[in-house]
């Protein structure tokens, strides 16, 4: 895919950025990928759907270099007016449920329909556990080769907040690059589902056949977040337990209060490996988009999500700004010790620490 895009780009003529304001031509960039590349070129490349340029811009977003951060901001702001014309779908499920195969199947179905699909991931654990999702593109071999698909693994070595930020910003760039569907996969560790849920329009939970016992290990919060459950591997001998699981999950979902979206979560069967049931899942997602666009929830939710990330980012910054001061770190330890010795209360200690700033 990248190869084809590169040659497409080589054929492009007269990129409208003068060599004077921009010493880095696309040509020189092709010669040396390490060269800095001007924001204008990146923006234009993204809007012209150049995948190599898109990937380069995402690298800037992920960079910890302050110059890059500044450039990333310029690019994101330029892309914003061209973004938002997509459906953002979050996909979660325990390891072994077949997320990669499912994304391959859904991706194929969508590109067959003429859609362009970007696959991102929230995987803050990848640097620690090395159990990275998407890290190995070969797990989505077919999709990776597809011209209308773009797969980008999660940046590694980042906190959840960091990954969430880069993924949301990457979504904007992908949308500006004309991707119609953004699939955001999460490994289902810790708070990553909440993060993904707070950045997608539709949240899909993948499950395996064999309910009953299944309900045991289930994090109940995840079920509450789901707009639909797809029971994967519903094929062959699994079909009967899958149908049973479907009934159980339908019953379980009815126990939850109605969602703000007024959408009743669905439970569908599919077999990603055989490609069955995938079309129904996509049709259901379109029904969701239609219904929530009509009742105003679709845009309302996106605005609420922005507000959430705004507040979330500020709060997390306020905390790290405070607790990372050497003076506070030292005094915090002292105060915790004093609390354990019953010499002060948590509240008095908090007042004291706050007075130090």
Place of tokens 């607790």: 323
CB of 152 to a copy of itself, least distance (A): 18
CB of 307 to a copy of itself, least distance (A): 6
Q: d(Cα 161, Cα 336) in Å, to the nearest integer? A: 27
State the DSSP string of 220-234. HHHHHH-SEEEE---
Closer by beta carbon to a copy of itself, 33 or else 330: 330
Place of tokens 């310029």: 74
Closer by beta carbon to a copy of itself, 52 or else 344: 344
- Residues in contact with a copy of itself by CB under 8 A are 73, 76-77, 80-81, 83-84, 165, 168-169, 172, 215-216, 220, 255, 303, 305-310, 313-315, 317-319, 322, 335-336, 339-340, 342-351, 353-354
Q: d(Cα 267, Cα 324) in Å, to the nearest integer? A: 46
CB of 101 to a copy of itself, least distance (A): 29
Would you say 137 and 120 are in contact if contact means Cβ atoms under 8 Å apart?
no
CB of 300 to a copy of itself, least distance (A): 10
Cβ partners under 8 Å of residue 257, min gap 6: none
Closer by beta carbon to a copy of itself, 11 or else 340: 340
**For the chain, how are helix, strand and coil distributed in percent, rounded to 5?**
55, 10, 30
Closer by beta carbon to a copy of itself, 58 or else 149: 58
CB of 179 to a copy of itself, least distance (A): 17
Closer by beta carbon to a copy of itself, 190 or else 236: 190
**Phi, psi (deg, nearest 5) at residue 138:** -65, -20
CB of 313 to a copy of itself, least distance (A): 4
Closer by beta carbon to a copy of itself, 283 or else 343: 343
Q: d(Cα 156, Cα 130) in Å, to the nearest integer? A: 9
Q: How many residues does the chain have?
A: 357
């Amino acid at each position: 895919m990248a190869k084809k895009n590169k040659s497409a780009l080589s054929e492009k003529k007269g990129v409208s950025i003068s060599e004077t304001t921009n010493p880095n031509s696309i040509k020189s960039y092709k010669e040396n990928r390490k060269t800095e590349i001007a924001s204008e070129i990146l923006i234009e490349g993204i809007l012209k759907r150049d995948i190599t340029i898109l990937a380069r811009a995402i690298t800037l977003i992920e960079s910890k270099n302050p110059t890059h951060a500044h450039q990333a901001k310029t690019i994101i702001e330029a892309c914003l007016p061209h973004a938002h014309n997509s459906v953002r779908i979050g996909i979660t499920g325990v390891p072994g449920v077949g997320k990669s195969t499912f994304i391959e199947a859904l991706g194929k179905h969508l590109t067959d329909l003429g859609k362009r699909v970007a696959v991102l991931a929230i995987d803050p654990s990848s640097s620690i556990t090395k159990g990275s999702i998407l890290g190995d593109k070969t797990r989505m071999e077919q999709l990776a080769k597809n011209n209308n698909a773009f797969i980008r693994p999660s940046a590694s070595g980042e906190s959840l907040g960091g990954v969430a930020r880069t993924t949301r910003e990457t979504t904007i760039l992908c949308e500006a690059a004309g991707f119609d569907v953004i699939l955001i996969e999460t490994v289902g560790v810790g708070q990553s589902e909440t993060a993904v849920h707070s950045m997608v329009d539709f949240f899909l939970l993948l499950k395996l056949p064999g309910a009953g016992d299944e309900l045991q290990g289930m994090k109940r919060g995840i079920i509450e977040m789901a707009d639909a459950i797809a029971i994967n591997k519903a094929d062959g001998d699994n079909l009967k337990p899958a149908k049973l699981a479907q009934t159980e999950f339908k019953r379980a979902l009815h126990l939850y209060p109605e969602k703000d979206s007024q959408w009743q979560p669905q439970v569908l069967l599919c077999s990603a490996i055989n490609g069955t049931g995938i079309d129904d899942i996509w049709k259901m997602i379109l029904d969701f988009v239609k219904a929530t666009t009509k009742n105003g929830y679709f845009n309302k939710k996106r605005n609420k999500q922005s507000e959430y990330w705004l507040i979330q980012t500020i709060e997390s910054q306020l905390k790290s700004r405070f607790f990372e001061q050497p003076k506070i770190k030292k005094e915090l330890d002292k105060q915790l010790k004093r609390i354990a010795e019953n010499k002060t209360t948590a509240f008095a200690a908090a007042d004291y620490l706050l007075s130090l700033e």
